[in-house]
Structure 1
Amino acid sequence: MLLYTHSIMSEKLSSITDLPLDILVLVFPFLDAKSFLSLCSTCKAFQQPSIRLDPAYWSLATRSTFRVPNQPVVQHDGQRWHNMYKRLLTQSRVYTWGSNTHNRLGHGYDEPLTLPVFPRFNRPDRRSMNMHCSFPTEMEDTRNLGVIADMQCGGWSTTLLTSKGSLHTVGVLDGGRVFGAVGRLQPLAFPAGYPTSSAQSQYEEPTITIRQFSAGRSHILAVSDSGMIWSWYHIKAPALHVKFVNVDVKEVSSPGKRNNSSAYGKVKQVVAGWSRSSAYIYGTGIVVWPPVERDHDDQEADGMLVLENAEVPMTGYQRTKAARGESDEERTLGEEVGAVLNYIMLEHYVVFVTDIGRVFCGKFGEKNKVDNILELRALRTEPETSLDVQGSFRRFTVFKNKEVIISDQSYLDACWDDQVKNPGQADIPGLQKIPALQNSDVISVAFGDYHYLALHSNGKITSYGTEVSSCGALGLGSNEVGRARGIVTDGFNTDGRLLPHAYTHGRHVWFDRQKKEWLNSLVQSESDPEEASDRIVLFQENHDVQGEVSEWIEQEGRALDIKNTCEDGLGAFYALGISAAGWHSGALMLVNEELANKESTQSLEDLSFPRLRLSDGTEMPGTKEFDEWREGRPEWKLDYEA
């Protein structure tokens, strides 16, 4: 580098713009956003998108300033990272929906407290139904937290990470043992001897300033700026500092400063699973241990020494510049497994992806031990192409180049149990390519117990699956509004499932209450209820008709979104992140309140229930003119359902 720079300077460059781009991008990270934009405004050469919207710069600036998690699928989208940086300063909001037992949604506190969750075979009573929220609602007590960097749902909780590195939680961490709601949103605390929380710290405290966190079913894991691992098992109990007998964890005294020290022993990330804790530690790999709690007779303990942990085999390999110094074993590991890029913890498996385009799984045995790993051969892709894995509990998704593949633990079981008879994993069913998730720029997928959400690069969220007891976890509305979005409600247990029609193009989660009001008026056919009565009966009794009407409504909603965009191309509501767990969902949003408060639904004045020519040739009854399809009637693939 020095020799190259000296060679360039010896040619007596007359302008910084004469430097090649690969040299300039090494300088950019040293500039804050204001300085970088000032540099770009100095000349036309720096206004070209390859410089002004450099994805490496804006990704680093956004993640380091606001602690926003990396999004590998869109890590090269400089425009998106730039827009996020600008709007995060003033527009971050958090919305939740679904079951509100234990006050896990962080709003609706005036509602009566819920009773314990009923078994699935019982019909919930009216008090329980009142605790459900089927439309995204902003969490209370969050505006004073500043910029929200990340949010995650746990089994009975919702947790937020601020750009200052503080964690705040509502609900309960273990709803299996704690039946009452804890209260409103509150900061997670640390043991005596540390500031109560990083939000209350009056000085930089890297040991408790959280860099990254993960919400499991009933506990929360986090890693601080200094590299300490913290674990919470109760909202009102301070964290425990996790240490290991058999694993070296290196902490840093001055996080954020550039140094050339080895990464060995540093914590890359933590992942809290269904009933396990885990961390990726450089030089060791994926380390797994049971969630920790204080003993009843030792409530003052500030840490927990883990005596028994397990290491997932062949996950510790890291690429080095001095590859010639590798041992034969290391070289073989790099060629056959590769370096771990990301991993997830399911109920019975760990699943990870590597930098040579491969996906592996390992099955947990006694004491969290994983004896060996197995490649999922059908998910292999070429090196240097995009590859990621996301998931929780029993389901997961693999982003393979531009494909989005959904699967679950039954597929892993089939591959695992057939290793001897079918090592090539030929013809093993269980990999789904939902049409709505293909070629639609999906960034991430979040799974609850029976439902899941997809986040698209345009900031829209689509919803799939089933909401237990019509709890609202799909976020598409309830009663007739939910029916109009494509939800069928089972008469016995009141579960609401999405019709197969919805899996062709998806069903968007609406944050604009004006659209909800428009749809409510439409399903009641306020302009002419008598003329529409026969159509409404047909819609209510025939699921195919319901599916087609819901698709027509979906197209009308998308057309409205296109009209209501900002100068930067983003809408009034732009999703940065999604989360789901158990029976509820959440989204981290950028909200342009000026645009959101405009009377956007005035362009949809016809409030008569739609009259369509159906795909089987049937003409819906009525006297009004037929409604046209804005995007054309789809060719539905009705064999997809979750």
Structure 2
Amino acid sequence: MAKKVTPLTDLPLDILVLVFPYLDAKSFLALCATCKAFHQPSISLDSAYWSRATRSAFRVPNQPVVQSDGVRWQKMYRRLLTQSRVFTWGSNTHGCLGHTYQEEAHQSGMLRRRWVNSATNASFPIEVEHSRELGITSDMQCGGWSTTLLTSKGSLYTFGVLDGLTMPREVSSNKHELLKYPPGFPQSTDRYDPAVATLQFSSGRSHVLALADSGRIWSWYAFNKAALHVKFLHIDINEASPSSSSQTPTADTTGQVGRVRQVVAGWGHSSAYVCGTGIVLWSPVKRPRGDQVSDMMLVVDSAVVPKTSYQRPKHASRQSKDDKALGDEVGMVSNYIILEHFVVFVTDLGKVFAAKIGDESTTTDIVELRRLRNDTGTHWDVQGSFRRFASFKNDEVIITDQGYLDRCWEARFDNPAQTNIHGLQRIPALQDTGVISVAFGDHHYHALHRNGRITSYGKDPQGCGALGLGSENNLQAMIRGINIVANRGEGELLRETYTTGRQVWFEEEKRKFMRFMGDGGQDPSEARERMELADVDPTIKGEVSEWFEQETRDWDKRPELKDADEDRLGAYFALSVSAAGWHSGALVLVNDVLAEMVRESCKGGPPERSPHEGKLYEWEWKDWPRLRLADGREMPGEVEFSEWKYGRPDFERNFEA
């Protein structure tokens, strides 16, 4: 009697997901198209498959907050092939923006005060020159004076200066420079070598760390000098085949002992997470003076952050009593960051810990940040750099800094519950808005939201454009909600803007709209009194800015553009955002067809007006807004009162958590 053959569709899902990773994307999609059973979203949009496929094919870094979003990962996979673009903005010191864009001053007919006067900066996102020549860019990170790109082939390119404190400074051209390896290794990915193909990298203030497919650690301190292979005197690193490498903790990591899972370059420290050892810290390495040939650096003085070594086994019976106690108290490190003076890490228990870094990159103890613990949710993470960081807990995002960490550290014995320790901020625009990541510069920071939008917060030092919101003069700054401190040449976002956030624009049409309205709209003389009133009254300025923010939102979501936005990602969909120093950057998927349709939809005017009046855009028939204010006042003027596109919000000005 013939044996009964079990159809593939009869296998349980937990068995099928073990098979899926062996299929490439084309084969997986073909399988899903064979029958309705495989076409159901639980299979065709399996988050584990698409996350792994996208990260394997394009070397995209993991995003823990959206790890379970299969739809997002699948759309990323489809569009990364053709639509990946790199944009930068802010201070272009030493060419760290990767372009020679020169902003031209747009002089308004009224209130001519200038606050930006640099020909080297970019206050709007500008595409990095020559970046498309690199192929698919899968990740980008800003350093103190540089920006570094990772391609899908595993190559690293940088522009700017890795160490801006050295003299003479080694400045790259505005065209990207390929980071070099020692002689004997492939200098590009034309010939694949797992020892030099970058799996994951991190830009610190003045150096870059990379983790190769093989598990090898490389470190650069100048773009024109070859990397150094980092080894440790007291810690064994287990290099292996690429197929066994992983950036994500698995259910059973006991077989990964000695493997490097992650590298993080901080302000003045280097680090790596080594399975079975924990978070390892050391000082950035350099060749001795006169040494031009060394290809390896043996780190004698390294330190392990206490209680970070735990690896969760698949079966509890495999644990010793001490291991179980550590697993219950701390858990397994799922992600970590390196600040100027602290290590902050989050574990699989939803707990967040900090360890103060002493001399020679040493640590002696850890303290749990009790108020950041996630006892009930499924999503948690920490992200940050220099002196500030963000803690994620479900859909809540808390912003804090090293001052708060210092206070918790000093109180770890006398006040372990950390009661009455202030310093946590709950920014309204970051709560329940799908924030995926937060990137910090010296004075500014950006949030990336699930819908592919980027919002900005903080200050714009010396008006360099770090916020990425534009504003070439004080009237345009008012439209974006930026208050100008004239004696310092500094722009600071009004507290009113933190209620809904201020989006970074990639559309040229929005910049033209802002410039037109910055000049007073279609009748500048009629709008003069309102503009002058808003210029001196921060409360009015905040409401006017919110009105403009609503007017410029979702231009690519207009009904007539729906067919061109097939995957609903919009014309510009940011995959990642990075910031450091006084500059920022983003990796963006650009739907060129939809972007052009948005551009065309902005043209023209009311049908009753002649198209031959020299006016190209629809907003050239619009007045500068006249609002009924929240406090009951009415703005002066002769035009009709302006309506709110999405309704006036209740502004929140107290952010203390």
Q: TM-score range by the shorter chain?
A: over 0.9
Determine if the alignment matches structure 1 residue 223 to structure 2 residue 223. no
Q: 1:36 to 1:359 in 2, by over 3 A?
A: same
- In the TM superposition, 1:166-205 aligns within 5 A as 166-178=155-167, 179=169, 181-183=171-173, 184-196=175-187, 198-199=188-189, 202-205=190-193
Is this contact kept in 2: 1:98–1:473, CA < 8 A? yes
Question: 2:145 aligns to what?
Answer: 156
The answer to which of 417-426 and 175-184 deviates more is: 175-184
How far off its partner does 1:543 sit? 1.3
Q: How big is each residue's C-alpha offset from its partner over 1:276-296, in whole Å with a ceiling of 9 and x where there is no partner?
A: 000000110000000000111
Question: 1:38 aligns to what?
Answer: 30
Write the letter of the residue equivalent to 1:191: P
Which of 609, 624, 636 is the matching residue for 1:621? 636
| Secondary structure of the structure 2 residue equivalent to 1:521 | helix
The 1-side partners of 2:27 and 2:398 are apart by 42
Q: 1:257 to 1:326 in 2, by over 3 A?
A: closer
The 2-side partners of 1:125 and 1:500 are apart by 20
Question: 2:613 aligns to what?
Answer: none
Task: Return 5+ residue gaps in structure 1 as ranges.
Answer: 1-8, 113-123
Write the letter of the residue equivalent to 1:31: L
Question: 2:278 aligns to what?
Answer: 285
How far off its partner does 1:188 sit? 0.3
The answer to which of 72-81 and 521-530 deviates more is: 521-530
The 2-side partners of 1:483 and 1:615 are apart by 18
The answer to which of 160-169 and 377-386 deviates more is: 377-386
How far off its partner does 1:12 sit? 4.2
Question: 2:602 aligns to what?
Answer: 601
How far off its partner does 1:449 sit? 0.4
Question: 2:589 aligns to what?
Answer: 590
TM-score, with length taken from structure 2: 0.91
Question: 1:342 aligns to what?
Answer: 335
Aligned residues: 618
The 1-side partners of 2:227 and 2:656 are apart by 41
Is this contact kept in 2: 1:514–1:600, CA < 8 A? no
The 2-side partners of 1:206 and 1:19 are apart by 36
How far off its partner does 1:526 sit? 3.9
Is this contact kept in 2: 1:445–1:455, CA < 8 A? yes
Question: 2:222 aligns to what?
Answer: 234
Question: 1:137 aligns to what?
Answer: 126
Question: 2:487 aligns to what?
Answer: 492
| Secondary structure of the structure 2 residue equivalent to 1:280 | strand
Task: Return 5+ residue gaps in structure 2 as ranges.
Answer: 105-113, 247-251, 604-617
The 1-side partners of 2:397 and 2:550 are apart by 23
Determine if the alignment matches structure 1 residue 535 to structure 2 residue 530. yes
| Secondary structure of the structure 2 residue equivalent to 1:505 | coil
Is this contact kept in 1: 2:447–2:454, CA < 8 A? yes
Q: How big is each residue's C-alpha offset from its partner over 1:318-371, in whole Å with a ceiling of 9 and x where there is no partner?
A: 011232121111110000000000000000000000011111000011221111
Is this contact kept in 2: 1:515–1:557, CA < 8 A? yes
Which of 251, 257, 265 is the matching residue for 1:264? 257
User: What percentage of aligned pairs have identical amino acids?
Assistant: 56
Write the letter of the residue equivalent to 2:540: V
The 2-side partners of 1:110 and 1:474 are apart by 17
Question: 1:351 aligns to what?
Answer: 344
The 1-side partners of 2:103 and 2:180 are apart by 27
The 1-side partners of 2:530 and 2:171 are apart by 44
The 2-side partners of 1:604 and 1:485 are apart by 17
| Secondary structure of the structure 2 residue equivalent to 1:360 | strand
Is this contact kept in 1: 2:253–2:313, CA < 8 A? no
How far off its partner does 1:131 sit? 1.3
Question: 2:459 aligns to what?
Answer: 466
| Secondary structure of the structure 2 residue equivalent to 1:452 | strand
Q: 1:261 to 1:412 in 2, by over 3 A?
A: closer
Which of 552, 555, 577 is the matching residue for 1:557? 552
How far off its partner does 1:111 sit? 9.1
Q: How big is each residue's C-alpha offset from its partner over 1:132-190, in whole Å with a ceiling of 9 and x where there is no partner?
A: 11000000111111111100000000000000000000000111224573212111000
Write the letter of the residue equivalent to 2:19: V
| Secondary structure of the structure 2 residue equivalent to 1:357 | coil
Q: How big is each residue's C-alpha offset from its partner over 1:233-281, in whole Å with a ceiling of 9 and x where there is no partner?
A: 0011110000110000011145458999921111000000000000000
The 2-side partners of 1:523 and 1:110 are apart by 20
RMSD after superposition: 2.2
Which of 437, 449, 454 is the matching residue for 1:444? 437
Q: 1:367 to 1:260 in 2, by over 3 A?
A: closer
Which of 510, 518, 539 is the matching residue for 2:513? 518
The 1-side partners of 2:275 and 2:377 are apart by 22
Q: 1:110 to 1:502 in 2, by over 3 A?
A: closer
The 1-side partners of 2:128 and 2:369 are apart by 40
The 2-side partners of 1:193 and 1:442 are apart by 44
Question: 1:382 aligns to what?
Answer: 375
Question: 1:77 aligns to what?
Answer: 69
Which of 456, 478, 482 is the matching residue for 1:483? 478
TM-score, with length taken from structure 1: 0.93
The 2-side partners of 1:87 and 1:641 are apart by 40
Question: 1:246 aligns to what?
Answer: 234
Determine if the alignment matches structure 1 residue 26 to structure 2 residue 15. no
